[in-house]
Structure 1
């Protein structure tokens, strides 16, 4: 009998061990880096937790190229000066004026925005004077108290995202299942990746840096690796390659780790996000719940890999032992 099956079994086992090693290496390398990035995610300073938020309503008079926005969840203002004149902001910190040169940007905490802890009674209007060259300009705004969310529905959606991802993934890694389940799992990988991109873009809009590549990379940190690994994991999943499980497992656990602290947004009224707050909560539901689901699916995929077994030697081909001749 040929011994070719034994050789094939050893090759298959070596390939599986290599793929598992690659997945483990990705997890070991990315997880500690992700923990560091999670502490600084969303900017260089931790936003102050408040229940109200100032809004910029207008610049009087309007100056083309001059933009003032609220950042860090209402804690500070950022001025982007794309005019040809320096912009002076008097009395920003300890009575000292701040001068922003043409093409520059500055962020500061301004007490003139009002008390964030005060109840929403009376007038919440505020004004900050500027000078664009010799032209006096006033930034006018008000303060709003958005209602706090009910956390239970958001946590319920997160659990549903986890269970739904694990259910779809379980069908995809089941032996003998058609490719439709793998297509659905690949779609889930792309959705989780896209949700994290939305979360990072929104976070980059409310940091000290003006909108751009620098702010985007600063908000993403090591999480930017998921933007590359996610599409690659989806492509390998469609092909039924086991390395796809290592990649989407790494994507899942990294996105879940990076958005763990963001689940506090289910309890807070004001978020450090440059868009609708519910959009950030939806992105957190998908990245945290779906990410954990992908990690569990990857573990399931590896556990269902059959180890290569060496076939028992065929004793029928063994050379018979020659009987010794009887003594004379």
Structure 2
């Protein structure tokens, strides 16, 4: 048991946590958006992408347009950051027209409710430690939640390669994910190692999910789906992971075996 405790402490203190969301995007209460191009340019569109941090212009017209000293030819797309888009009401010249936009501010949710949900999930995860099969099932569910969160945050990024972004959003979870299969195999074989693997995976997913705490208090989340779905995935990763670690420890304490 002491060896297991030492291994998990080393894991938690040395593992590099994942980015909160892919591409370095962060939860926030404000979001910049385009309201119009005045006067309209045939075939030319403008939108804010990457969680309102970049202005993307697509030229579907027949002639070039110029924005921020950059010429966008027909069929081309230009994406860039512009400090002007952070003002409450903003304008960016686009050729002979002007891109107009604004920053919407939406208050975030009460984080207490999500912390209570996280605590309830942790308690539920702990009671899974009563049986090896339940621990393995819990590992599958919690890992799936973390995978879903990582993929959803990756899909929210425009203009980046999927795999590198996913790797950045996953962090130590990349090690925990394959260990889920180990836990399932151990459970099928009725091996006591199921609890050991569950405890390790749970601790790793807690480490991976710690940067996502801000999702509980901000309204706008960089996630390809409803914000509350992402919050639930974060709660399941953190709470479920903590519960699995505690439940796995408890099982090992009661049985006195890690192999």
With normalisation by structure 1, the TM-score equals 0.62
In structure 1, the residue matched to 2:87 is 114
* 1:201 match: secondary structure: helix
Change (3 A) 1:89 1:281: farther
Whether the aligned pair in 2 keeps the contact of 1:107 and 1:208 (CA below 8 Å) is: no
In the TM superposition, residue 63 of structure 1 has moved relative to its aligned partner by 5.7
Deviation at 1:99, TM superposition (A): 6.5
SS of residue in 2 equivalent to 1:260: helix
Where does the alignment leave 5 or more consecutive residues of structure 2 unmatched? none
| CA deviation map 1:132-188 (0-9, x unaligned) | xxxx8976655433342122221111111011111122x215xxxxxxxx1x33222
Q: Which of these residues, 122, 129, 145, is aligned with residue 162 of structure 1?
A: 122
* Change in 2 beyond 3 A, CA 1:69/1:287: same
Q: How has the CA–CA distance of structure 1 residues 67 and 235 changed in structure 2, closer, same or farther, with 3 Å as cutoff?
A: farther
The answer (yes or no) to whether the contact 2:179–2:201 under 8 Å persists in 1 is yes
1:172 pairs with one of 103, 115, 131: 131
Partner of 2:163: 213
Given the alignment, which residue of 140, 155, 159 partners 1:190?
140
1:70 to 30, 43, 49: 49
Give secondary structure in 2 for the equivalent of 1:53: strand
- The aligned residue for residue 260 of structure 1 is 210
Alignment map for 1:40-189 (pairs within 5 Å): 40-43=19-22, 45=24, 47=26, 50-56=28-34, 68-71=47-50, 73-74=51-52, 76-77=53-54, 79=56, 90-91=67-68, 97-98=69-70, 106-115=79-88, 128=92, 142-169=102-129, 171-173=130-132, 182=133, 184-189=134-139
Contact 1:200 1:216 (8 Å CA) reproduced? yes
Deviates more, 1:53-62 or 1:195-204: 53-62
> Conserved in 2, the CA contact under 8 Å of 1:41 and 1:220?
no
2:164 is the alignment partner of 1:204:
no
Query: d(CA) in 1 for partners of 2:42 and 2:164?
Result: 27
* Structure-2 separation of matches of 1:62 and 1:172: 65
Change (3 A) 1:127 1:27: same
Shift of 1:230: 1.9
Asked if the contact 1:41/1:221 (under 8 Å) is kept, the reply is no
Structure with max Cα Rg: 1
CA distance in 1, matches of 2:36, 2:189: 54
- 1:201-260 per-residue CA deviation (whole Å, 9 max, x = no partner) reads 222234575252222222223322222112322332243222222222121111112222
Question: How far 1:110 sits from its partner (Å)?
Answer: 3.5
Deviation at 1:291, TM superposition (A): 0.4
8 Å Cα contact 2:128-2:244 kept in structure 1: no
Question: Cα gap change, 1:150/1:127 in structure 2, threshold over 3 Å: closer, same or farther?
Answer: same
> Shift in Å at residue 25 of structure 1?
8.1
The answer for unaligned runs of 5 or more in structure 1 is: 1-16, 92-96, 116-123, 174-181, 308-328
The structure, 1 or 2, with the larger RCO (C-alpha pairs under 8 Å, 6+ apart) is 2
Q: Distance in 2 between matches of 1:214 and 1:80?
A: 24
Shift of 1:286: 0.1
